[in-house]
Amino acid sequence: MLSQKVVGKLNEHINLEFYSSNLYLQMSAWCEIKGLDGCAAFLRLQAREELGHMHKLFKYVYETGSLPVLGDIAAPPVEYVSISDLFNKVYDHECHITREINALLNASAKEGDLSTVNFLQWYVAEQHEEEHRIQQVLDKIRIIGESDTGVFFIDRAVGGMIRK
Ligand code: FEO
C-alpha cells in the first residue's frame, strides 16, 4: 500500500520516462535526416529502453493496488545545432532524471515506504550506467572532432556502442 504522495510522485516519473523515450526517438529522426545511421540506431534503442523504464514503474504502481495515471507529455525539441549539441542535451537530460530519481527515493524514505525505496534502487544503478554511457559518447566526439570526416567516424563509433 503506497501513500498518495508517493503514488503522485511515481506517476509524475512515469510521464518523465515517457517524455525521455519521445525525446530520444525525436533525436534519432534528426540523426537519420543527417545520414547518421549509427547515432540514430543508438538513440532508437535508448528510446525503447526508456519505454521499458516507464512500463516497469507502471507495473509497480498497479501491483501495489494503486492506479497509474498518464498525463500530458510535452513535445520534445526537433532541431539541434550539431551532434555534440544533441548528445550534450542527452547528458543533461539524464542528469535531470538522476536528480528526479534521487528526489523520489528520498521522498519515499521520508514516508517510511521501504518497498518503493527498494524498488527505486534499480533506477539508481541504471542512471549511473546511462550517465556513464553518454559520457563515453561525448568523449568520443571530443577525441575525434566534428569535421566532416570526424562526424562519419563519430557515427561509426556510436553505432558500435549499441548493446546487443
Ligand atoms: Fe529512464 Fe534514461 O532515464
pLDDT value at position 38? 98
Q: What percent of the chain has pLDDT over 90?
A: 96
Q: How far apart are CA 123 and CA 99, in angstroms?
A: 11
CB neighbours (10 Å) of residue 107? 18
Residue 164 pLDDT more than 70?
no
The band of 93, judged by pLDDT with boundaries at 50, 70 and 90, is: very high
Amino acid at 144: I
Per-residue pLDDT averaged across 56-66, rounded?
97
**Going by CA atoms, what residue is nearest to atom 2 of ligand 1?**
94
Per-residue pLDDT averaged across 94-115, rounded?
97
State which ligand 1 atom lies nearest to the alpha carbon of 17. Answer: 1
**Ligand 1 contacts CB of residue 46 (under 6 A):** no
The predicted-structure confidence for 20-39, as pLDDT tens digits, reads as follows 999 999 999 999 999 999 99
Q: Tell how far the Cα of 101 is from the centroid of ligand 1, in angstroms.
A: 10
Predicted TM-score (pTM) of the model is 0.96
State which ligand 1 atom lies nearest to the alpha carbon of 50. Answer: 1
Per-residue pLDDT averaged across 124-151, rounded?
97
CATH topology of domain 4-159: Ferritin (1.20.1260)
Q: How far apart are CA 154 and CA 71, in angstroms?
A: 37
Q: How far apart are CA 119 and CA 157, in angstroms?
A: 34
Mean pLDDT over each residue of the chain, to the nearest integer: 96
